[in-house]
């Protein structure tokens, strides 16, 4: 019986390892905030607080995958986990934030979500560091539509709707709990113009779904589920190895019982882009960016620094 069990575990590990190898895509994270930071594997080995960047792209339509198409990042989210304090902070950054991209001054100012389409994950990390001055230890890039299919593989998640609305043939009422997966989950997160808070309302619903998914997926059993891992396929790209994922599942799961939600609040304005003309953006004040930076750094247990000041 023991031998059979070990063989099953070994088979599951091999399949999970193969899937994780397909997804594994290291990128440059050379930023000022990361300069004296330990590598991700050392942070996880020591069970230290970790800050991960979750990016959700608009890939998925017309068979696009995260491997062969640089779309726009509809979702930009920091997931900051402190296992000793058993705290997790989920912070959303508005995709329409005004940004001057470090490596693309010729098309700046532009919306923050363009950093990925122009320079990939590395440019997104550079730009976020420029404005928020927080270390980014690892990243996960997901195809947002396929993420809904992954949530279905997980058995769905439970969320409480923050407003009453109809979308894609589904109805939701404020304050009511829903078990969502597949198209229903997509309908829950994708509404934008019917939400009185516009993109900020959409961000809130994205955070609700992602927080529920994080709680459910960060487990050893889920990671070694070969069907679940293989379902990620072209829908996910990350610099977390399988061993990194297992360490997170084994040593950080308790922190997901206490999740705080936050977002950067901007002010709507318009800017003139040299290439695209006038565009509507969200301008984040230095004070607001400093608040976000401080909160993330405090969760990580590191000292605060002054964020970059830019004339708005």
Segment 105-136, tens digit of pLDDT: 999 999 999 999 999 999 999 999 999 999 99
Q: What is the mean pLDDT of residues 270-275?
A: 86
Task: Say how far apart CA 215 and CA 211 lie, in whole Å.
Answer: 6
- Asked: is 11-143+219-300 a CATH 1.10.10.10 domain? The reply is no
Query: Which comes out higher in pLDDT, residue 274 or 223?
Result: 274
Task: Say how far apart CA 266 and CA 281 lie, in whole Å.
Answer: 9
Task: Say how far apart CA 100 and CA 290 lie, in whole Å.
Answer: 17
Average pLDDT value for the chain: 85
3-state secondary structure of 31: coil
For residues 128 and 53, the answer to whether their CB atoms sit within 8 Å is yes
Task: Say how far apart CA 57 and CA 71 lie, in whole Å.
Answer: 6
How would residue 275 be classed by pLDDT, with cut points 50, 70 and 90? confident
Percentage of the residues of the chain whose pLDDT score is greater than 70? 84
Residues 6+ apart with CB under 8 A from 137: 29, 34, 37, 40, 43, 50, 51, 52
CA nearest 51: which of 132, 141, 124, 136?
A: 136
Range with lowest mean pLDDT among 59-68, 160-169, 184-193: 59-68
Task: Say how far apart CA 168 and CA 156 lie, in whole Å.
Answer: 18
pTM of the model: 0.88
Q: Where are the domains of the chain?
A: 11-143+219-300
Q: What is the mean pLDDT of residues 272-297?
A: 93
How would residue 277 be classed by pLDDT, with cut points 50, 70 and 90? confident
- Structure confidence at residue 245 (pLDDT): 87
Asked if the model's pLDDT at residue 312 lies above 60, the reply is no
């Amino acid at each position: 019986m023991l031998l059979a069990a070990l063989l099953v575990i070994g088979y599951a590990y091999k399949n999970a390892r193969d899937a994780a190898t397909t997804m594994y895509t290291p990128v440059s994270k050379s930023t000022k905030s990361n300069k004296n930071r330990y590598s991700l594997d050392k942070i996880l080995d020591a069970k230290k607080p970790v800050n991960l960047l979750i990016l959700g792209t608009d890939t998925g339509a017309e068979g696009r995958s995260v491997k062969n198409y640089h779309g726009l990042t509809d979702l930009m989210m920091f997931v900051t986990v402190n296992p000793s304090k058993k705290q997790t902070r989920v912070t959303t950054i508005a995709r329409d934030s005004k940004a001057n991209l470090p490596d693309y001054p010729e098309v700046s100012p532009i919306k923050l979500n363009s950093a990925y389409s122009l320079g990939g994950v590395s440019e997104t990390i550079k730009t976020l560091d420029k404005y928020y001055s927080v270390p980014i230890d690892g990243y996960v890039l997901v195809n947002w539509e396929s993420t809904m299919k992954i949530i279905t593989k997980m058995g769905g998640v439970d969320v409480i709707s923050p407003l009453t609305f109809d979308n894609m043939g589904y109805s939701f009422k404020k304050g009511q709990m829903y078990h969502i997966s597949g198209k229903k989950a997509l309908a829950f997160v994708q509404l934008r113009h019917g939400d009185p808070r516009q993109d900020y309302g959409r961000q809130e619903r994205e955070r609700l779904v992602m927080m529920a998914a994080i709680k459910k997926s960060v487990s050893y059993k889920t990671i070694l589920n070969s069907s679940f891992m293989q379902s990620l396929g072209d829908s996910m790209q990350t610099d977390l190895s399988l061993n990194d994922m297992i360490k997170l599942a084994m040593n950080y799961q308790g922190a997901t019982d206490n999740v705080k939600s936050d977002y950067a609040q901007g002010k709507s304005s318009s800017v003139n882009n040299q290439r695209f003309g006038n565009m509507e953006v969200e301008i984040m004040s230095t004070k607001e960016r400093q608040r976000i930076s401080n909160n993330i750094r405090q969760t990580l247990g590191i000292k605060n620094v002054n964020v970059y000041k830019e004339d708005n």
